[in-house]
Amino acid sequence: MLPKSVYLRDLHFEHGVWMKEFTFFEEELEIFQRRLEDVASQNSDMEIMSKVESFQNQFILQKEVLQKLSHDIKAHESILARYAQEHPTAIDHVHFHDHSSLREEVDTFRDLFVEMKRKFLRFCAEWL
């Protein structure tokens, strides 16, 4: 089966949506970190502190994945921009290979982030 083809403008649009979404996730992680600090300051039980540390580690991992995905998107965007600059009349007529593997990575990240967020909010509700 041949890979799906799409227009450059559609890939560019999707990149932009993802980058805005990543900015939102980064802001949420900052908010979550402050909330986690509230939990830690109000609870000294070792079991709770273990969960606090676990969430801190998850936040760090989420930030690292966001950075990697952002880098990958910017690299792909750079390739598209270079092509558009070299072939300005072709960008609305030429099909490009879809970035389905990148889309799958973004979708997986989003699903895992939402699940982590759900668990974190439940944890906060229990201990604040």
Model pLDDT for residues 23-62, shown as the tens digit of each residue: 999 999 999 999 999 999 999 999 999 999 999 999 999 9
12 or 89, which is more confident?
12
Average pLDDT for 13-31: 98
What is the rounded distance in angstroms from the CA atom of residue 2 to the CA atom of residue 72? Answer: 23
On whether the pTM is more than 0.85, the answer is yes
Which comes out higher in pLDDT, residue 128 or 112? 112
What domain count does the chain have?
1
Closest CA to 127 of 61, 62, 58, 36: 36
Q: For residue 79, which amino acid is it? A: I
The mean pLDDT of the chain is: 93
Model confidence pLDDT, tens digit, residues 62-85: 999 999 999 999 999 999 989 888
Distances (CA, A) of 7 to 3, 14, 77, 84, 90: 13, 11, 13, 11, 10
CA distance 93 to 18: 24
- Domain, as residue range, for 40: 5-127
Residue 46 parent element (H or E): helix 46-86
pLDDT score recorded for residue 87: 85
